[in-house]
């Protein structure tokens, strides 16, 4: 594969790579030529197989991202196994659904820890690594955060998720502001309504499912593979002048 979208020789680190959007992104990056480190709490055997079928290396790092404890260890592990990290995709995330009047501190803290705090400190660890080789080689590191429609909107019954994804949008811009001159591009993808484990409750709710589909111009739920092309773009040389952008991949949801 040749051209601005070619990732041959690059190493990508994808969190939450076991299923869903993380798997879709990992496979797309592999098909564009990147070796992929798969960070997951459960064995990402299927994702590993799909990545290797693309003819690149797959390296598994088992880690629980409910705290920042494994962040530095993950970076050290991937660099030891694959040489360096060119691309970081912060995909790992969780959601809790309860009316705002009844929402618990425990559910608030759990979501904010994974979706925002770990995202920042893993990015910090990877950025410290990236600035080392970027200053010497002139190449650029790429950090891609996974935002949400709720980066732009309020949502219903998901207060901590909304707060965390709004925070992801802000952190994406801050990282771009601070790290652009250090050789790192930081951007985000805001998936629309994608059929994954996190959205099973919405898909199963007949009323909400109908309301969601009625608003999407494409008339369907997205597939994790739909996010892959956006990830390849933001990971590649084609996006070298894109900084602090939140790219909606939503079937037209925000246009309606």
Q: Per the domain annotation, does 29 fall within a domain?
A: yes
Residue 1 has a pLDDT of 47
The CATH number covering residue 169 comes to 3.40.50.720
Q: How far is CA 29 from the centre of its chain?
A: 12
Domain count, the chain: 1
Residue 197 has a pLDDT of 81
Q: Do 168 and 145 form a contact (C-beta atoms < 8 A)?
A: yes
Q: Per the domain annotation, does 184 fall within a domain?
A: yes
Q: Per the domain annotation, does 256 fall within a domain?
A: no
Structural tokens at position 147: 């935002």
**Cα–Cα distance between 59 and 16 in angstroms, integer?**
14
Of 43, 79, 26, nearest to 232 (Cα)?
A: 26
* Order of all β-strands in the sheet with 11-15: 58-62, 35-40, 11-15, 87-90, 141-146, 184-191, 246-249
Which active-site residues does the annotation give? 161
The sign of the CA dihedral 118, 122, 125, 128 is: negative
Q: Per the domain annotation, does 144 fall within a domain?
A: yes
206 contacts: CB under 8 Å, gap ≥ 6: none
Q: Per the domain annotation, does 16 fall within a domain?
A: yes
Residues of the chain with confidence (pLDDT) below 50 = 1
Provide long-range contacts, Cβ within 8 A and 24+ apart, for 176-182. Answer: 176/243, 176/244, 177/244, 179/127, 179/131, 179/143, 180/243, 182/127, 182/130, 182/131, 182/134, 182/135
Q: Per the domain annotation, does 4 fall within a domain?
A: no
pTM of the model: 0.96
Q: Per the domain annotation, does 130 fall within a domain?
A: yes
For residue 24, the enclosing domain spans 11-196+224-249
Residue 2 has a pLDDT of 59
- Which segments of the chain does DSSP mark as H helices, in order? 20-31, 45-53, 71-82, 105-112, 119-137, 159-179, 200-204, 206-215, 228-235
Q: Per the domain annotation, does 203 fall within a domain?
A: no
């Amino acid at each position: 594969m040749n051209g601005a979208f070619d990732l041959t020789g690059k190493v990508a680190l994808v969190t939450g790579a076991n299923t869903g959007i993380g798997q879709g992104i990992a496979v797309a990056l592999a098909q564009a030529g990147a070796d992929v480190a798969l960070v997951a709490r459960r064995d990402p055997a299927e994702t590993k197989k799909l990545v290797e079928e693309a003819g690149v290396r797959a390296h598994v790092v088992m880690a629980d991202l409910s705290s920042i404890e494994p962040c530095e260890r993950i970076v050290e592990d991937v660099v030891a196994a694959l040489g360096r990290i060119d691309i970081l995709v912060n995909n790992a995330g969780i959601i809790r659904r309860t009316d705002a009047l009844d929402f618990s501190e425990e559910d608030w803290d759990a979501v904010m820890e994974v979706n925002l705090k770990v995202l920042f400190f893993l990015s910090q660890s990877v950025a410290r690594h990236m600035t080392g080789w970027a200053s010497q080689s002139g190449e650029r590191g790429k950090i891609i955060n996974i935002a949400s429609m709720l980066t732009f909107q309020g949502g219903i019954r998901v207060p901590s998720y909304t707060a965390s994804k709004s925070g992801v949008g802000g952190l994406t811009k801050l990282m771009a502001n601070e790290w652009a001159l250090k050789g790192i591009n930081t951007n985000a993808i805001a998936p629309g309504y994608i059929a994954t484990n996190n959205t099973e409750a919405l898909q199963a709710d007949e009323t909400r499912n109908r309301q969601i589909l009625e608003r999407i111009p494409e008339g369907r739920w997205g597939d994790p593979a739909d996010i892959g092309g956006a990830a390849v773009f933001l990971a590649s040389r084609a996006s070298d002048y894109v900084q602090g952008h939140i790219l909606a991949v939503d079937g037209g949801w925000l246009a309606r």
